[in-house]
Amino acid sequence: MKAEFRYIPLVLATCLISWMSHDLRSSEMPLIKGIYGNPKQLWEKESRLSKLGVNAIFVRSKLIDEELINRARADGLMVFAEFATLNGKNYVEEHPEAWAINEKGEKVQEASWFMGVCPTEPDFRRYRFDQLRDLVSTYELDGIWLDYVHWHAQFEEPEPILPETCFCDTCLDAFSGYSGITLPEGTITIKAQWILDNHDDLWRDWRCKVVFEWVDEIKNIIEQFQPEALLGLYHCPWDDQDFKGARRRVLGLDFDLLKETVDVFSPMVYHARMGKKADWVHEHVNWLGNRLDVGKEPYPRIWPIVQAHDGPEIISSVEFESVLRHGLSGKSSGVMMFTSNTIAENHDKRAVMKKVYTTMY
C-alpha cells in the first residue's frame, strides 16, 4: 500500500490528503471561513486562497468542473455546490404548466428579479432531482447548499414582494388530498378565497410541508451518492414575527420542520440590501442560534453569508469587517461572503478578509 502511494502524482496525493482531513461529520470540524462565487478571479490575485485564510469555497453548481475541484483540493479547500432549487426563470417560459398561479387565477409576475416556480409540478420536480443526481454522481463534494427554497416571492428587498401562491390545479388537488377537505366548485378565485377564509392555517401548514419534502428528498438523493456530504440551506433572514410571520406564512420556511433534515443554515444577512445596519447581522445570528437550539446536537449549525458586494450603497472595508465578524458571532461556526469577485476587485476588502480569517480559529 505504501509503495503504491509513492507513485501517486503530487497533486493527486495532495488532493487525497486534503480530502481525508475533512471529516465534516466530526465534532472537531474546523471553523468555516468561506467565499461564495467563482474563485477564478480571486485565484488570479492569490494563487493559494489558503494564504488568505480561506478553507471553503461555495460555487454555483453550473461552474463546478474537475479542474476547479482539483485546484481547490490541492489548496486544502472544501468545495460546496450551490444548487438553485425552486428558481423557475427560463423554465416556466418553456413549460407554462409550471407557472405559479396567484389567488386571482393569474400567472404570477417576476418578483423583482426572481421568478419562482410551482413546487408541486411533477415534471419540474423530476427535472431538478435529475440535475441533482447528475451533480452528486459526477463530482466529489463536501456538501450541497440549496438556494431559492421557497414559494414564489422576493425577500431580498427592504419592502419584500409577498404574493399568495400557488392555486394551480395541481396545488389545489394536493392540498385537498392532504387536508381531506373537498373544495367548492367554481373558479380558482372562488376556491382560493374559500381556502384563505376558512382554512388558512391548514393551507400554511401544507405549503411548509411541500417545501420540507423538497429538502428532505434532496437529502435522500445526496445520501445515496455521498452520505458524508452536508446539506446546507441559504434562506431568508427573518424571525418568526417579521412581516407578520411571512417567512413561514408566505415563503413556507418552517424551521421546526427544516432543522430535522438541514445540516447547516446559512441566513442571507445582506444588511445593506435589506436596509439594515451592520449590527443587525449579529442580532440575527444570535436569534437564529437560539431558535434552532444550536449546540444541543452536532447539527444543525449556522454559517451565515454576509454582504461584501456594493449595493444599493457602497460597503466600506470597515463595514465589511464588521459584518464578517458579526457573522462569526453567537453560535455561528462559519461564515462566507457575497461575493468572491467583490473581494478580488477590492484590495482593502481582501486585506480585511485575510486579517479576519487568519486570526479566527
Which residues constitute the domain of residue 97? Answer: 2-19+50-163+206-359
Look up the pTM and report it: 0.93
- 114 falls in which pLDDT band (50, 70, 90)? very high
- pLDDT, residue 151, reads 98
> 82 pairs with which residues across the strands?
60, 145
Q: Is the pLDDT of residue 129 over 70?
A: yes
DSSP-assigned letters across all residues of 4-31? HHTTS-HHHHHHHHHHHH--TTSTTPPP
Residue at 327 is within a domain: yes
- What local confidence, expressed as pLDDT, does residue 71 receive? 98
Work out the burial of residue 204: count CB atoms within 10 Å of its CB; fewer than 13 is exposed, 13-18 middle, 19 or more buried.
middle
What is the rounded average pLDDT for all residues in the chain?
93
pLDDT band at 25 (very low <50, low <70, confident <90, very high): low
Element at 233 (helix H, strand E): strand 230-235
Residue range 31-52: mean pLDDT, rounded = 97
Asked whether residue 186 is assigned to any structural domain, the reply reads no
pLDDT at residue 340 greater than cutoff 80: yes
30 located within any domain? no
pLDDT score, position 7: 26
How far, in Å, CA of 100 to CA of 117, rounded? 5
- Tell me the pairing of strands 230-235 and 264-269: parallel
Residue 214: HSE in the Cβ half-sphere, 13 Å Cα cutoff: 30
Helix (H/G/I), strand (E/B), else coil: 77: coil
Does residue 103 sit in helix, strand or coil? coil
Local confidence band at 27 (pLDDT 50, 70, 90 cut-offs): low
Confidence of residue 271 (pLDDT cuts 50, 70, 90): very high
176, β-bridge pairs: none
Instruction: Map residue 55 onto helix, strand or coil.
Output: coil
Q: Grid cell 407554462 — which residue? A: 96
Give ∠ CA 273-279-283 in degrees, rounded to 5: 100
Residue, of 23 and 102, whose pLDDT is higher: 102
Q: Which of 17-26, 79-88, 129-138, 271-280 has the lowest mean pLDDT?
A: 17-26
DSSP 296-317: SSS--EE--EEE-S--SS---H
CATH number for 110: 3.20.20.80
303 in a domain, yes or no?
yes
Angle at 182 between CA 176 and CA 186, to 5 degrees: 100
Residue with cell 466600506: 316
Q: Does residue 113 belong to any structural domain of this protein?
A: yes
Torsion of CA 338, 344, 347, 353, to 10 degrees: 50
pLDDT band at 22 (very low <50, low <70, confident <90, very high): low
* Percent of the chain residues past pLDDT 90, beyond the cut: 91
Q: What is the pLDDT of residues 302-338, one digit of tens each?
A: 999 999 999 999 999 999 999 999 999 999 999 999 9
Q: How far apart are CA 124 and CA 89, in angstroms?
A: 12
Contacts of 313 (CB under 8 A, 6+ apart): 272
User: Is residue 201 in some structural domain?
Assistant: no
What is the arithmetic mean of pLDDT over 45-57?
A: 97
**Residues 56, 78 contacting (CB under 8 angstroms):** yes
Residue 12 has pLDDT above 70, yes or no: no
With respect to residue 170, please indicate whether it lies within any of the assigned structural domains. no
| Total number of domains constituting the chain | 1
The answer to whether residue 188 is domain-embedded is no
Q: How far is the C-alpha of 312 from the C-alpha of 108, rounded, in Å? A: 26
Percent of the chain residues topping a pLDDT of 70: 93
pLDDT at residue 282 is higher than 70: yes
